[in-house]
Structure 1
């Protein structure tokens, strides 16, 4: 059987309750047995008075009626025989009536056991048979010997009732009670002698059958009185011995011997002996005296027995009380000891339980938190060695203390192992970053040196892959708990941050970025926000079909700014979505075995570090939408040239290509251009880049040189004939040598207005000298209703480009082979790229300088990409 109690106290109580209940049950049973015997002794007197004496009176009355009936049958004509019979019958009826009435007494019946009650009810029912015998006697239809047997059958059940009346627990007293019953039966034997011989006297002759009945009665009487008085106490035994040694006793024995020894024929003849050897007077005097004396002796022995029973009952009661009291005291002591023992065990176990709970719920988690925070933990301080008593409970306490110390030591070793692994990750990542920085520098050199368009395109791709590798290396640093190397001190426009994030994604051509408000991101958070958004955008591009786009848009909210990244993929199941949101919200400890979701861990770490809230939900397109809530504390208002350092930013995002509708230009959806220097080392210093941070650039360098040529052809940009012709401006180059704040060499994210038009909201300040000269030579182009420069085909194209128009056309055609460039050198290529960039910069400046009087409409009457708030949404 399993005990379902939950508390330790209940289990201990259950453990001690079983023996206690057993002990109490045994004590109660013993007390009940003892008390029952004691009360049975006290009931002897009451039972004797209520049923013992009435039964004995009924036996005596039946004996008198038997004698009168036998005399009546022996001589029906004897005077007074009928009167004596009726008197005896009345006495018998009275005595039996008393027995009948007392047998119905409820108190008496409660004091008798079941066997005695059954025999008592039998006596009452047997009284009805007596009427049958009486009718036969009255009618003379029964012989003397038969009547003698019938009356004996009526009397014998009374003695059986005496034998089973209230058996006592005391062997001596019970034996004395049985002895008294047998002595009463001996007196009944003497009465039978008197009845048989009196019938012979009345008939004038003793028959042989009557002589045999007389002899049986004599033998029974002598056996009983010779045997049972010896079993009584000495005083009672002496009474019977003295009586039988008296003259009356000797006279009865002498008469019995003569009657039994008389010569009585079985078939008497006239003149034969009649067997009446004792005269009627002598017999009546002797038998009557003996029967009276025996009745007195029986009553005296019964009174003496009652006198012995009462003190014995009191003594037994005292002994039972003392035993019961000691038993009860033992039970109470056992209960008290059990409760104290149980309470002590419960207290010790509760202390151990509290200690275990404190270790598992407070101490170990605190140690784990401290270890996770990088603090040093002293095992002896956190889990001191405690002293316990030298017993089993103390052994359990010591084992528990050892277990706690082992757990803390294991946690410390695990933390040291994790710290070592993190250090290894950081070391490897830093080494990779150094190598990648050197690789990017080498790629810069190669890009400046090459003249082949295909090679330049491949170098751009390799440059882009290297930048992605640098981001992944930085992800290892973040997972290891270290801070990234890229740091800014001054705010950066949010649009630049998003563009930089898009530029770090492999499928950046598929990303469409709607115009964002002119707000900035605090410098210390720029690197983390850029990395976080890049991870989410890359996840959107990876898990969506390649022909679909990923949209990035945002708006102000009460608690900051919300960026939403929508993809058109298959989406996530509800369980997977819930699991991803839990990982993003709770920032679980990074497990080395869970390598399939490194991006989620990186995003979660970055979001926790900057207080950004990131969540995933189902997108309207059936895919997944990542919602990034940037808190107000990380945002700055009114970003301008003085704050952002748009010229000071390393090429900023003005180098980015702008996506235009294919129908407007007949070109592929994305234009990729090489990067020129936008301000030199001074710009980097003004952006507040940490000196020891590795090199970083914003995405501006793109895919194919031949597309760049055709783009320059359409925009009408004239290349500079010589790099040194630009006064006071830094030499254009494929990459700055100094570190920069944002990712490098990618397609610009596509800025899309609400009506589907592509827009660009970043104003570029070019290098001094070169761009100024260009402005003096060319009038400002007309503006579109949206404020952008209107393109005039080949209006500003350099003479060299006009001369090679056929080659440019072939280069701009998708799939066309690159033209031969055997006669061009690196300076010419750089001049062309510089001219192209200056044309873009000039166009943006002129577009920004134009004012928009009314909200223009695009083709088909749709709104352009500007709202009343000016955020381009």
Structure 2
């Protein structure tokens, strides 16, 4: 509509200007009629009254004692006052003044102001202090401005009519000249003689009258001009001319003497009859000429009105037609624009977001179905519609191509991550074999560190899979104790020794959610350790709530600003689309993706220590009841699926105990079959305890040392051998996080046992060792040695009683004695350091920077 408003307003402005131009003549006609009625006729009456008063004053001055002269003067003065009063009153009318132009208003105000001078002339006449000729001039000066006012009174828009109006004014002035003749000669008759000055005034008036009547009637139309010509050719006109000639030609001395001529060549009776008749006839002729003028003005006024009406009417009609056409065109444009706007809004607000959501969900999108090619009319709006449709298709096509590109990138990431996982699984298997084979404690500690580092690398590779939108390959079929899940998460953290895990209730996590919950908690604990000082601890505790179970992870770092905390919580709650440019918060994105997948709610808040607390709400649907605690329960893992071991390095502290997490169920076979990680034939279940722990016990038995850890939970039955074609083991953690009771004291958990399982690789059944009265395990000599290394063949089969130990050999070489003594020394040193750890949290390392021979039990972290 704004486009149509400009030409419409321009058309209306042009029509208004044309209407004003044409109607101005109509308004001028109305003004002429109004002004003529209000001021024209009153001014004419004032002129006639002043002429009568002038004659009476001159007669009074010529013969003060003449009977009736004073009465005639007073009567004339009253008539003049009345006529001038009407002019004065009408000049104050606001409507009249609005209809007059500036020049006419100025002359009218001059008339009203000059009327005050008339009193001065009258006073001089009454006192006889003014001469006749002076009085004649004074009254003439009062009358002349009235004729000047007539000349500029609202001229018409017609040149001919305006000229005729001016001619009528001049003819009226000619009648005034005849009245002046009458006044001068009447004064001479009253005085009994005509002075030379009076004769000059008379002659001047005659010349003026004849000039006006001889000139201006010719400018009138023929009918009016003929009226004046006929009159002056009549007897009355000729009589006046004859009398004027005689008076002007009379011999009047400038300085008369007794007996000289008095100049009164025309008798009083003849003059009064002739002059009176002429003045009356001229007034009649003026009125008749004015009426004829009005008759000529009427057609002109009608023509002006018709022109104004036609111009205004046709202009108004054109404006109305333009308005109608503009409205129809504007509505059509508005409809088309509204349709295009709705289409654009639908595309930007509904269609494109729906396409983006479908693409984000991995669905296939057909561009022709989502954005079909629409048909538009062949006009400008149609061109805009086609361009908009093309733009929508281009946007959808770009989104599809972008989704394909991102899907390809994700597939590349997943492929790379899967390959890394295969290599990491193989590396873990190789490390397990090396840990079995090595006899050196320092090398074993380094292998454990490498084992833990490999476990962390596997978590990072799994995070890459999660970032790519795929599910991790580790899957569980059976529920897993929540304590094992938390310990497994701690085992995947670099600074696991700084983590304090308080006692958790005996509750299980559903198998399909174990991997995701473990990874989620590991990411949060990793953040807590990274963004807190190295000398502080990270506490993990939880409790049941109405909607599930809440885990809280507290750190003692610097915390987050309110804006950063709000932004992090938004990322955790909304799970935005992963952007390749946002690489500084991969952990938050992984946590958000895992939480969304399992329905877990994760939020951050300020911790009581000034750092940050991560709150993890595990819904009830992911929890199970009636499962044993990790310290007392028994876990079996199907060997038909690859096992993954979560390991923690022992550092240089010796060989601490460990726990094992659940292994994947059969659902992961397809995920690993393409890399050859699934065994061809099913194998027996494997014990929950790790092989490294047994290897450590065997070495300790060979060295004659009691292990630092509890052996009472040793599994029975043969242990599977680490053959190359066996399934890849799941990650196992060799060092459990410290279990802290609610009162803050360390709790010594009881080792869990598992049912025997696995293949029969030559290992013999071992009975569980009996415990001493003090609760310590009773060692069976040579129970951990290979059959080839035992003293004799009769003792190669392990007995079920503690006393069935093989006899010791007295032949010991120097190397064996030295090794035993060194082991004994390391055991004493480790015991002293463990005793120091109970009171000194941060103890210095041993010489050379290592902690060889120490253990992490009782560490509290």
Please, what TM-score do these two structures have when normalized by structure 1? 0.78
Residue 802 to residue 437, structure 1, CA distance change in 2 (3 Å): closer
**Alignment of 1:410 onto 2:398:** yes
Q: Counterparts of 1:53 and 1:492 in 2: how far apart (Å)? A: 123
Residue 734 to residue 246, structure 1, CA distance change in 2 (3 Å): same
Q: How far is the alpha carbon of 1:276 from its aligned partner? A: 4.0
Residue 691 to residue 563, structure 1, CA distance change in 2 (3 Å): farther
Q: Counterparts of 2:817 and 2:478 in 1: how far apart (Å)? A: 35
Q: How far is the alpha carbon of 1:336 from its aligned partner? A: 2.4
Q: Counterparts of 1:845 and 1:519 in 2: how far apart (Å)? A: 35
Q: How far is the alpha carbon of 1:187 from its aligned partner? A: 0.3
The answer (yes or no) to whether the contact 2:778–2:802 under 8 Å persists in 1 is no
Q: How far is the alpha carbon of 1:149 from its aligned partner? A: 0.4
Q: Counterparts of 1:225 and 1:266 in 2: how far apart (Å)? A: 30
Residue 264 to residue 851, structure 1, CA distance change in 2 (3 Å): closer
Match of 2:82 in 1: 94
Most deviating of 809-818 and 793-802? 809-818
Q: Counterparts of 2:753 and 2:128 in 1: how far apart (Å)? A: 162
Root-mean-square deviation (CA, aligned residues, Å) is: 9.3
Aligned residues: 861
Match of 1:532 in 2: 520
Q: Counterparts of 1:644 and 1:738 in 2: how far apart (Å)? A: 28
Q: Counterparts of 2:719 and 2:668 in 1: how far apart (Å)? A: 8
Q: How far is the alpha carbon of 1:717 from its aligned partner? A: 7.9
Q: 3-state SS of the aligned residue for 2:581? A: coil
Residue 603 to residue 741, structure 1, CA distance change in 2 (3 Å): farther
Q: 3-state SS of the aligned residue for 1:737? A: coil
The answer (yes or no) to whether the contact 1:699–1:746 under 8 Å persists in 2 is no
Residue 665 to residue 75, structure 1, CA distance change in 2 (3 Å): closer
The correspondence of residues 140-151 of structure 1 with structure 2, limited to 5 A, is 140-151=128-139
Match of 1:35 in 2: 23
Q: How far is the alpha carbon of 1:493 from its aligned partner? A: 1.7
Residue 745 to residue 831, structure 1, CA distance change in 2 (3 Å): farther
Q: 3-state SS of the aligned residue for 1:327? A: helix
Most deviating of 762-771 and 76-85? 762-771
The answer (yes or no) to whether the contact 1:231–1:237 under 8 Å persists in 2 is yes
Residue 620 to residue 51, structure 1, CA distance change in 2 (3 Å): closer
Match of 1:667 in 2: 655
Q: Which runs of 5+ in 1 are unaligned?
A: 1-12
Q: Counterparts of 1:18 and 1:289 in 2: how far apart (Å)? A: 70
Residue 457 to residue 431, structure 1, CA distance change in 2 (3 Å): same
Write the deviation string for residues 34-81 of structure 1: whole angstroms up to 9, x where unpaired: 556435534645554454333323222221221222233233344544
**Alignment of 1:78 onto 2:66:** yes
Q: Counterparts of 2:801 and 2:143 in 1: how far apart (Å)? A: 146
The answer (yes or no) to whether the contact 2:525–2:553 under 8 Å persists in 1 is yes
Residue 850 to residue 424, structure 1, CA distance change in 2 (3 Å): closer
Residue 101 to residue 196, structure 1, CA distance change in 2 (3 Å): same
Match of 2:191 in 1: 203
Match of 1:454 among 442, 447, 453: 442
Residue 203 to residue 864, structure 1, CA distance change in 2 (3 Å): farther
The answer (yes or no) to whether the contact 1:701–1:746 under 8 Å persists in 2 is no
Q: Counterparts of 2:133 and 2:603 in 1: how far apart (Å)? A: 122
Q: How far is the alpha carbon of 1:799 from its aligned partner? A: 17
Q: How far is the alpha carbon of 1:208 from its aligned partner? A: 3.2
Q: Counterparts of 2:341 and 2:802 in 1: how far apart (Å)? A: 77
Q: Counterparts of 2:784 and 2:86 in 1: how far apart (Å)? A: 153
Q: Counterparts of 1:506 and 1:856 in 2: how far apart (Å)? A: 20
The correspondence of residues 542-691 of structure 1 with structure 2, limited to 5 A, is 542-640=530-628, 646-649=634-637
Match of 1:865 among 833, 836, 853: 853
Q: Which runs of 5+ in 2 are unaligned?
A: none
Match of 2:787 in 1: 799
Write the deviation string for residues 12-43 of structure 1: whole angstroms up to 9, x where unpaired: x5554455455545545655665564355346
Write the deviation string for residues 501-532 of structure 1: whole angstroms up to 9, x where unpaired: 11111222222222222222111111111111
Q: How far is the alpha carbon of 1:343 from its aligned partner? A: 2.5
The answer (yes or no) to whether the contact 1:252–1:287 under 8 Å persists in 2 is yes
Most deviating of 576-585 and 323-332? 323-332
The answer (yes or no) to whether the contact 1:71–1:199 under 8 Å persists in 2 is yes
Most deviating of 619-628 and 330-339? 330-339
The answer (yes or no) to whether the contact 1:500–1:742 under 8 Å persists in 2 is no
Q: Counterparts of 2:332 and 2:858 in 1: how far apart (Å)? A: 78
Q: How far is the alpha carbon of 1:148 from its aligned partner? A: 0.7
Q: How far is the alpha carbon of 1:473 from its aligned partner? A: 1.0
Q: 3-state SS of the aligned residue for 1:472? A: helix
The answer (yes or no) to whether the contact 2:645–2:661 under 8 Å persists in 1 is yes
The answer (yes or no) to whether the contact 1:660–1:669 under 8 Å persists in 2 is no
Q: Counterparts of 2:162 and 2:392 in 1: how far apart (Å)? A: 73
The answer (yes or no) to whether the contact 1:581–1:615 under 8 Å persists in 2 is yes
Most deviating of 794-803 and 225-234? 794-803
Write the deviation string for residues 386-416 of structure 1: whole angstroms up to 9, x where unpaired: 2333333333322222222221121112111
Please, what TM-score do these two structures have when normalized by structure 2? 0.79
Write the deviation string for residues 654-680 of structure 1: whole angstroms up to 9, x where unpaired: 999999999999999999999999999
Q: Counterparts of 2:205 and 2:400 in 1: how far apart (Å)? A: 109
Residue 820 to residue 123, structure 1, CA distance change in 2 (3 Å): farther
Q: How far is the alpha carbon of 1:188 from its aligned partner? A: 0.2
Residue 87 to residue 630, structure 1, CA distance change in 2 (3 Å): closer
Write the deviation string for residues 793-848 of structure 1: whole angstroms up to 9, x where unpaired: 99999999999999999999999999999999999999999999999999999999
